[in-house]
Chains A and B, each alone.
Chain A
Amino acid sequence: MTVTDERPAAEVGAARRRKEDARLITGRTMWTENVALPGMLHLAILRSPMAHARLVRVDTAPALREPGVVAAFSGRDLPAMGLPCAWPVTEDMVHPDHPALAVDEVRHVGEPVAVVVARDRASAVDALAAVDVEYEPLPVVTDMEQALADGAPLVHRDKGTNKSYTWVFDSAAAGTGGSTEEAFANAPVVLRRRYVQQRLIPSFMEPRSVVADPTGDQYTVWSATQIPHILRFLLSVVTGTPEHKVRVVAPDVGGGFGGKLQVTPEEVIAFAVAQKLGKPVKYTETRSDSLLSAHHGRDQIQDIELAADRDGKVLGLRVKLLANMGAYLGLVTPGVPLLGAFMYNAIYKFPAYRFECTGVFTNTTITDAYRGAGRPEATYAIERIMDELAAELGLDPVEVRRRNWIGHDEFPFTTVAGLTYDSGNYEAATEKALSLFGYDALREEQKRRRESRDRVQLGIGVSTYTEMCGLAPSRVLGSLRYGAGGWETASVRMLPTGKVEVVTGTSPHGQSHETAWSQIVADQLGVAFEDVEVLHGDTRTSHKGLDTYGSRSLAVGGIALVNACQKVIEKAKPVAAHLLECDVNDLEFRGGAFRVRGTPTEEPGKTLADCALAVFAAHDLPDGVEPSLDADATFDPENFSFPHGTHLCAVEVDTETGRVSIRSYVAVDDVGRVVNPLIVEGQVHGGVVQGIAQALFEEAVYDADGNLLTGTFVDYTLPSAADLPDVVSDRTETPAPGHPLGTKGVGEAGTIASTPAVVNAVVDALRPYGVNDIRMPCTPERVWRALQGGAS
């Protein structure tokens, strides 16, 4: 029988309005902070004001005398609970203990020192002032290069070094290319640049919140997390509670961007306090707590060298990276730069590549995944230096890219970093982008403004990116020493009335899975979009999954979902044959119904709903047929997903004040086949803007004493609508050949692409003034300084 439907899909590809919206636009959303349980107590956490200090004394007793206070604990009062790092990237990685609540020493401002438990939140916060802490200051280091210098203060004195690891990829050693030494020795053009990826703060709009509820020996934890399944597993490991006694619920979650891909001190503390007191407890961070202590992103120094010939053909690339870990290693902190290691070669063909990354400890908040995680950094560096190559050779930046990119007829293509790109058409995306952008006209205008020495100069920036997403093939993760796999799972449950419940192991927090998954299932099973309910984020209903990050949900989870649907159809087949009194082999499944092959579609046949009702009653099933149509599927991808695209940005730079204004922005992305164009466009808009924010607006700044100077939204300047342009978003569509739906990931693409497009445009505007780099964010002052010939 045929189970694939050749008819054009009705739902996949449709701009369906989202199911999620009904509760979100009416205020009926279930945020973790909305959870209120009888007898629930409230936590307040005392955070270190010192970047590095020995804890001489933490006396919580005075807090117990404050009104409403029920309990108070220091790190010594709770069982030792080390926070996990799941990615020991090298065998000899220095991996310090990371207590949830500091015991002997604090190593960054904001580190939890004590917790107060009270009947209401205000009392808990009030009583923090009564906790008596004596800090003995220790020397502080916040700068990576200083941290690596001889005699630097040690973040972890017992480790004897601030270096966590050095990880190397070399194409000659890996057998994926030649030696960079040879490539550079003979190259007519060698460019060396240092790029700085400033530290960013993910700044999801919903502050993190956690509720832990002990009932007997069982624990329910609600958390504003991206990773309920991983959290369940690791809470069990960290606290020694049997996994089957732990239920984690991620209800509606207000954004993450990687920032909620973490097992946090606050989650572990809440769990431990609930365990100790036998009462439900809640902790919700304030925004200033969040900016200070939720993990940060980026913060790398990139020394990049590119060898090329005089025609602009790249011959080799060397990258030496310093990556700031912060004071400890978070869940995937050390691995973030590795996700970039395979992306520096981008869409280009060249023979030799070497990458070396050193992870460095400093007395700062930990860094970890932030939208794109490693890939935006890599894309930025290569796309910036490709522009430098164009400038060096007097070539158009688009032309330099053309001379190096992989042709559309060369796929699948194995890169110098060893990845096999399955598909792509860089020519098509670039042509479309150039035409939407009006590239030639803008270059003309730029020329005129340059000639007239206009106070406002025009700059044009291009970024031709690809990325590896759809994390990830488990075998690859294993070879990179990551602690878990990359599969995803889905279940389809046929209810007796023909309605469908889908359980996904992905955990959306803005990604619209309820809508997109319904579209996929509707097509697969031939049921109505409205008849599908997508369940997620509660380990009681969704017992298995690896959650949502790395643009993996559709790319990996989507295949699991399709496979589960196919299994349902397989299971329904003997039931339908029995109902139709025909042979199983004579059946076909089309438009949601089984019919004897060749029967006209006007015949009603037997729908899945008929079969579902039949197995529910189970009065008359063939021998040996299980009275259930429900099915699970778990899928482990064999390769990553490789969306790509071309982004173009035009900026106007006021050469008097240094202010940069984006005049136009065109994004042409190829994310393969699209399930819902509305959702895809939304992801592109949001992603592009986050990348623009890195280029122009955002930076987390520490002073030399390790104080975060950008600890509120007053100083950590997120752009508002008034600061941003409209984005012209379009697509080309090169289906992913290995994916039954042909889809690729889209969640991070915009962010990866846009940062270099914007900075390339700013630098392009200022090249006539002798400027070839501006540090991000390109604030008016930095641009102005660059124009003065000073350090930017």
Chain B
Amino acid sequence: MSNISNKPHANWFNRRGWRDIIIVAPYAWLIAFFVIPFIIVIVMSFAKTATESPPFAFLPEWPYIRFETYIRLFSDSLYIRSTFISLYNAAIATLLCLLIGYPMALGITRVNKSAQRLLLMLIILPFWTSFLLRVYAWIGLMGKNSWFNQLLTVIYNAVVPSSWEVTGFQLMNTNFAVVLVMVYSYLPFMILPLYANLEKLDMTLNEAAMDLGSRPWQVFKDVTLPLSIPGIIAGGLLVFIPASGELIIPSLVGSAADPMIGRVIQQEFGSNRDWPMASTVAVALLLLLVVPLVLYNHFEARAGKAGGT
């Protein structure tokens, strides 16, 4: 206590007012823009649809609420299927992001500081153009007559026997397209936390492992990989969570027959005007995503304890 108050710089923060404002501000934000709206969503999920505006109403007598939408969530295969497709696509995209992003992040840590800054700039550079624009660019790339599709076709035809040859790939409106564009869009969210983690690792640990007889691959397996697990988890969740709720990518390049859950929510709110059902799906999605988050925090706390040095 006494040595904190001795530091003049720490004093302004210790005056009650400032400290309280700084602590309260993020909570106020969270309550105003997340907790209250979400409570409204939860309440709506127990209502029924109505023709007037807003298009939902509560039952006129006790118990005023109904659970019909929750029953429908499990009885109508659309919701379960779209949930599975969402989780599946998100999982594949996360795995691919990890496989592509890990070597990139590791590579960035192994060059000099100014090259590191340049490479990180390049990683962040796509954010300077509109996300929608980039997805539309992919639509152009994936069309049957695009050079990208033609290139894939030529490579494919060169490898397979002539009876398997194709004139072009159906890329648009497939799950493949969704995963491809999601990997492209979310790759920076994998690379940046991985880089932050790998950059902190003490290179003398690698030297120590090498000194004790480990070849470079073993050094990676025994030292770098286990110590980067917190970065893998952080990057994985930053990709997986938004990917599983993704709306724009599946809407623009995905297949209508295999909808992802974000698209289902949008349809229920929009064209179906079934706000209670949309709310129910949203609640279900949030629960699905909160579970990994809680797991993440658990891992973080454990990693914080283990990597105390």
Asked whether A and B interact, the reply is no
Chain B residues close to A by CB (< 8 Å): none
Taking beta carbons and an 8 Å cutoff, which residues of A are in contact with B? none
